[in-house]
Amino acid sequence: MKIALLTGASSGLGKEFAKKIHAVFPEIDEVWCVARRQERLEELKNEVKDAKLLPVCADITNTSDVKRIFERVKAENAEISLLINNAGCGFHGAFADADLSEQERCMNLNILAMTRFTRYALDFMPKGARILTTSSIASFVPNANMAVYSASKAYATFFSRALNEELRASRRSATAVCPAPMNTEFLTVGHVKGNSKTFDRLPYCDVAKVALGALNAAKLRKAVYTPRAFYKFYRVLARILPEGLLVKLAKT
């Protein structure tokens, strides 16, 4: 049985991934949707009306939950054809004034949990399998007032790109998707809405288009996917302009 394993599935970009996986990867037998909120997962299943969508209530920062997921993968003799590391969080505000527990949660989820989950998954990923990791344009340049978030996403992008090279010999691949702001609950939960003039000025990405574009990029085994010409240009600028200038421009 070929499965897609999707974390952070209950809202935002994760929800759109769940809706569109079979459009790009029709060969996948089941989509295992992992999230902490059971009621949101049930709502997703009812909304998508896909018998191949399997809700899995778990917290990927909890090692016991993660082990339980992969014990089930092994018991059902499943092959992970597609892993989507989408679970993540971020919080706006000056680091010196930040709630430390929120920043620790950001690091734990965006870095440690994602890395651990990927390592467990690789043991069940055959030749030809793909990994898609949700990063951000914040990974291109350090973002003042979102210092921990941008640093964690830099880790995600660098980790994914390095892993893509390592996996090449086994004909597997890893793609980092680096979107810009989207109208999701991230903006509210992360204290961004109403607190950042930068976010108010930036052109937003359409969540559904980002999901479909990222899946197609994974299908083509691209190392990085950045939607919209504006942000592709920003990615180029991040490579050629002095970092000191870019940090000032990228301040949120």
pLDDT band at 228 (very low <50, low <70, confident <90, very high): confident
Q: What is the helix (H) or strand (E) element at residue 176, kind and residue range? A: strand 173-177
Q: Tell me: the pLDDT tens digits for 56-115?
A: 999 999 999 999 999 999 999 999 999 999 999 988 889 999 899 999 999 999 999 999
Tokens coding 142: 């350090």
Dist. CA 245–CA 59, nearest whole Å: 39
CA gap 78, 1 in Å, rounded: 5
The pLDDT assigned to 48 comes to 81
CA distances from 214 to 76, 102, 114 (A): 28, 28, 18
pLDDT at 4 over 90: yes
Cα Dmax for the chain: 53
Q: Which amino acid is at 187?
A: L
H-only helix segments in 49-174: 63-75, 100-107, 114-122, 147-167
Complete domains list, the chain, with CATH:
2-249 (3.40.50.720)
Tell me the average pLDDT across 182-194. Answer: 75
Q: Tell me whether residue 149 is one of the annotated catalytic residues.
A: yes
Confidence of residue 243 (pLDDT cuts 50, 70, 90): confident
The residue annotated as part of the active site, out of 120, 149, 225, 234, is: 149
